[in-house]
């Protein structure tokens, strides 16, 4: 007998009717993931610090025929994270997916940078993901939802960098560890947790590498010299992997850091 996934493989990517929270939804990856999910019939709770930018993404979602609400908050506290969960449940009566696309970097050499700058990067990239996982995970477990969690790591979780990345690399190494430990802790609930680890792709975060900034130019040139596919990424390069990790196609994949990096980590 031919099983349903073999007969109809695209059904593995069916996310129609699912409800997703996306933090950092105004950012390059958050926006692209939100639009991809909306195009495929998922409903969205878009979160981020700028109500104006969220409204712009919401208008794009609606232009695709999608449904979304906005929560103008960053995941700075458990209360913020819970507000996103409550809003999703109030709007759609269900919550199935979490995408933590909020993140931040402030480069600086350790002997010159302030502790507060290191802490701000750790708070945005690690503490925020932890609050989101805590609030969303509690809902998944209490309601027996076999949910999907997608975190954003980076090749910097594995590789150092000469451009003053002690905060960013440390935060992404922690993201990798958080991915693995949540995956193992929640496996018995059927919840999967994975991360995407890109190399440099165009976004607000990396705008300094696409302009005239000298350190940015040098960083971009060095990154490019290490990427076998010969270019930096665009947000659209990541959404195929995002769909895989947020759909039934990845039901037997958990605790993985998926490199979407043009071959950077292969070399
Ligand atoms: N771009 C790259 O080359 C690259 C490479 C590897 C990994 N990543 C990771 O991918 C994720 C998404 O980044 P992106 O490239 O899409 O960047 P982005 O376009 O700058 O989007 C990130 C979003 O995070 C929010 N944010 C900014 N500062 C924050 C803070 N201190 N606390 C909480 N939220 C904050 C912003 O939204 P609001 O201002 O509206 O809150 C922003 O829209 C991040 O985790 C990043 O580290 C990016």
Q: Which of 21, 23, 26, 27 to mutate to test the pocket of ligand 1 (most atoms within 8 A of CB)?
A: 27
What is the bridge-based pairing of β-strands 43-47 and 67-71? parallel
Question: What confidence category does residue 226 fall into, taking pLDDT thresholds of 50, 70 and 90?
Answer: very high
Question: What confidence category does residue 220 fall into, taking pLDDT thresholds of 50, 70 and 90?
Answer: confident
Distances from the Cα of 134 to the Cαs of 5, 77, 79, in angstroms?
32, 11, 11
Q: Which atom of ligand 1 is nearest to the CA of 155?
A: 6
Please list the residues that pair with 84 across neighbouring strands: none
- CA nearest to 187, candidates 247, 85, 96, 255: 255
User: Is there a contact between 83 and 21 (Cβ–Cβ < 8 Å)?
Assistant: no
User: Mind listing the pLDDT tens digit for each residue in 234-265?
Assistant: 999 999 999 999 999 999 999 999 999 999 99
Does residue 182 lie in a domain region?
yes
Does residue 223 lie in a domain region?
yes
Is the CB of 203 within 6 Å of ligand 1? yes
Question: What confidence category does residue 212 fall into, taking pLDDT thresholds of 50, 70 and 90?
Answer: confident
CA–CA gap between residue 156 and residue 143 (Å, rounded): 35
138 — phi, psi (to 5°)?
A: -60, -40
* Alpha helix (H) residue ranges in the chain: 4-7, 28-39, 51-63, 78-92, 115-122, 128-142, 166-186, 214-225, 239-246
Residues whose CB is less than 8 angstroms from the CB of residue 130 and which lie 6 or more positions away in sequence, other chains included: 178
Question: What confidence category does residue 222 fall into, taking pLDDT thresholds of 50, 70 and 90?
Answer: confident
Distance of CA 184 to the CA centre of its chain: 19
For residue 264, indicate whether it is catalytic: no
CA–CA gap between residue 92 and residue 69 (Å, rounded): 10
Determine which one of 92, 104, 165, 168 is catalytic: 168
- CA nearest to 141, candidates 178, 208, 190, 108: 190
Q: What is the pLDDT of residue 252?
A: 98
Tell me which DSSP letter residue 92 carries.
Answer: H
Nearest CA to ligand 1 atom 4: 200
Is the CB of 167 within 6 Å of ligand 1? no
Give the mean model confidence (pLDDT) for residues 158-162: 92
Nearest CA to ligand 1 atom 18: 27
Beta-carbon neighbour count of residue 45 at 10 Å?
A: 28
CA–CA gap between residue 187 and residue 261 (Å, rounded): 27
CA–CA gap between residue 252 and residue 249 (Å, rounded): 8
User: Mind listing the pLDDT tens digit for each residue in 52-93?
Assistant: 999 999 999 999 999 999 999 999 999 999 999 999 999 999
Is the CB of 176 within 6 Å of ligand 1? no
Q: Looking at residue 247, which CATH number applies to its domain? A: 3.40.50.720
Is the CB of 74 within 6 Å of ligand 1? yes
| Centroid of ligand 1 to alpha carbon of 151 (angstroms) | 12
Is the CB of 205 within 6 Å of ligand 1? yes
| Centroid of ligand 1 to alpha carbon of 7 (angstroms) | 39
CA–CA gap between residue 220 and residue 223 (Å, rounded): 5
Does residue 26 lie in a domain region?
yes
| Centroid of ligand 1 to alpha carbon of 231 (angstroms) | 20
Q: What is the pTM of this model?
A: 0.97
Q: What is the pLDDT of residue 218?
A: 87
Q: Over 90: is that where the pLDDT of 163 sits?
A: no
Does residue 9 lie in a domain region?
no
CA–CA gap between residue 51 and residue 36 (Å, rounded): 21
Domain that holds residue 23: 15-259
Q: Which atom of ligand 1 is nearest to the CA of 102?
A: 24
Q: Which of 29, 75, 232, 239 to mutate to test the pocket of ligand 1 (most atoms within 8 A of CB)?
A: 29
Number of domains in the chain: 1
Average pLDDT, the chain: 96
Nearest CA to ligand 1 atom 6: 154
Q: Which residue has the tokens 């979407």?
A: 260
Does residue 2 lie in a domain region?
no
Question: Strands across the sheet with 257-260, in order?
Answer: 67-71, 43-47, 19-23, 97-100, 148-152, 192-198, 257-260
Q: Which atom of ligand 1 is nearest to the CA of 31?
A: 16
Is the CB of 216 within 6 Å of ligand 1? no
CA–CA gap between residue 212 and residue 53 (Å, rounded): 25
CA–CA gap between residue 38 and residue 63 (Å, rounded): 10
Q: What is the pLDDT of residue 233?
A: 96
């Amino acid at each position: 007998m031919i099983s349903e996934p073999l007969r109809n493989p695209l059904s593995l990517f069916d996310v129609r009717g699912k409800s997703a929270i996306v933090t950092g939804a105004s950012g390059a990856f958050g926006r692209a993931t939100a639009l991809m999910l909306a195009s495929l019939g998922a409903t969205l709770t878009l979160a981020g610090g700028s109500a104006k930018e969220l409204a712009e993404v919401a208008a794009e979602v609606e232009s695709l025929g999608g449904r979304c609400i906005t929560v103008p908050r960053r995941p700075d506290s458990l209360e913020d994270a819970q507000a996103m969960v409550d809003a999703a449940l109030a709007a759609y009566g269900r919550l199935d997916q979490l995408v933590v696309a909020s993140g931040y970097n402030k480069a600086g050499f350790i002997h010159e940078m302030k502790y507060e700058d290191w802490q701000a990067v750790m708070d945005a990239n690690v503490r925020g993901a932890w609050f989101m996982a805590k609030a969303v995970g509690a809902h998944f477990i209490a309601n027996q939802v076999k949910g999907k969690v997608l975190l954003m790591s980076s090749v910097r979780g594995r590789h150092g960098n000469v451009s003053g990345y002690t905060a960013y690399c440390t935060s992404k190494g922690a993201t990798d560890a958080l991915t693995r430990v949540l995956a193992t802790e929640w496996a018995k609930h059927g919840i999967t947790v994975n991360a995407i680890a890109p190399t440099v792709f165009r976004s607000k975060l990396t705008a300094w590498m696409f302009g005239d900034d000298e350190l940015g130019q040098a960083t971009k040139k060095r990154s490019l010299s290490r990427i076998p596919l010969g270019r930096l990424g665009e947000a659209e390069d990541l959404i195929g992997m995002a769909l895989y990790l947020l759909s039934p196609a990845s039901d037997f994949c958990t605790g993985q850091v998926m490199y979407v990096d043009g071959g950077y980590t292969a070399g």
